[in-house]
Amino acid sequence: MTSRPHHRARHRRRAGRRRAAVGGASALALTGAAILTSTMMSTAGAATTWPTANGSEPVSATIAVSGTRDGGLKRYYGSGELAGDGQEEGQDPVFRLADGATLKNVIIGRPGADGIHCLGTCTLQNVWWEDVGEDAATFRGGNSAVYTVTGGGAKKAADKVFQHNGGGRLVVSKFAAEDFKTLYRSCGNCSTQYKRTSVFDTVEVTAPGSRLVGINTNYGDTATLRNITLIGDSGKKIVPCQKYIGNDTGAEPTTNGSGPDGTSCDYTASDITYR
């Protein structure tokens, strides 16, 4: 796995679509649309209801968001210069969020370009990626930034779902991912490095996948995992927490072990459920 902000390797996209399960029912009232019910990880293991788009809109230039934007569950997909859906470096995002912005009730379709960029503190609420392009979301704020992802899900991430290039803290809850390589990566070789904090609570992932989180122990990164459910990984091939030795030179980072340690990788066996 490369930890570069923009992964170079191409990856064959899997055609099969699998349903992930999530629990605790929630209903979101949508502007100009019917109420969507999404079941988030109940004890019974009811499957996620992936939303049906309320119309579609091509996006040929990045949409800048400040304040709050409610997409009403419309599908936005790249066109023109944003029509990329591979791992080419330097792609622009479909949405670029200013510091303090909120984006909610949005579906990002294919092509997905580089998904969403957060330039500072941001909130992503009920955002869904049908086919992740370069990355689903990239976080670029400073040390005081707080990025919050609540609800939603991502499919077909040939490399990463969440890429953390800036500093600050990422909190992900009630999220579903399936057919992915890495759910979260703290940048391993950015020219400016930070201590990064991440928390994942009530997250369900469906194989195939390689790792949930990747962090840099030498920069003091921490990842907290709680209420994680792995589906279809009976062989336990998905690594919950992979440690790296990061750098600021652009070199490929080396691994530094994996598994819970109570500090860098904060979880126990009881925090991971296999189904």
pLDDT in tens, 63-79: 999 999 999 999 999 99
pLDDT at 83: 87
Strand duo 265-266 + 211-216: pairing? unpaired
All domains in the chain, ordered by first residue: 23-274 (2.160.20.10)
Q: Work out the mean pLDDT of the chain and round it to a whole number.
A: 86
pLDDT at 176: 97
pLDDT at 29: 38
